[in-house]
Amino acid sequence: MILVKGAPVRMLAGIYAGYTGVIASIQVQAGSRPDAIYTLALKGPDGRRARTTVKHASQGRVWAAT
């Protein structure tokens, strides 16, 4: 199921592990197995802000919807 813009997220791994934020935009990839790429607006525990993209398929390993 594709998530909606504005949904809260938390990063679980990578250079942004521990950051929280929201889904800023969604790009749906059509095909036999639909997928989505989410652009995330993140804020770190130290107050730093960042933007990154994640695939829906990496949910639960790299990031999680909260």
Instruction: Determine what percent of the chain is predicted with pLDDT higher than 70.
Output: 100
The structure's pTM equals 0.91
| Domain assignment of residue 1, yes or no | no
Backbone angles phi, psi at 29, to 5 degrees: -105, 115
Alpha-carbon separation of residue 47 from 7, 31, 37, 65 (angstroms):
20, 38, 25, 20
Average pLDDT of the chain?
95
| Domain assignment of residue 52, yes or no | yes
Q: What per-residue confidence (pLDDT) applies to 55?
A: 95
| Domain assignment of residue 2, yes or no | no
- What does the pLDDT look like over 13-29, one tens digit per residue? 999 999 999 999 999 98
| Domain assignment of residue 18, yes or no | yes
Domain assignment of residue 54, given as a range: 8-65
Whether residue 58 is predicted with pLDDT greater than 80 in this model: the reply is: yes
Instruction: Give the number of domains in the chain.
Output: 1
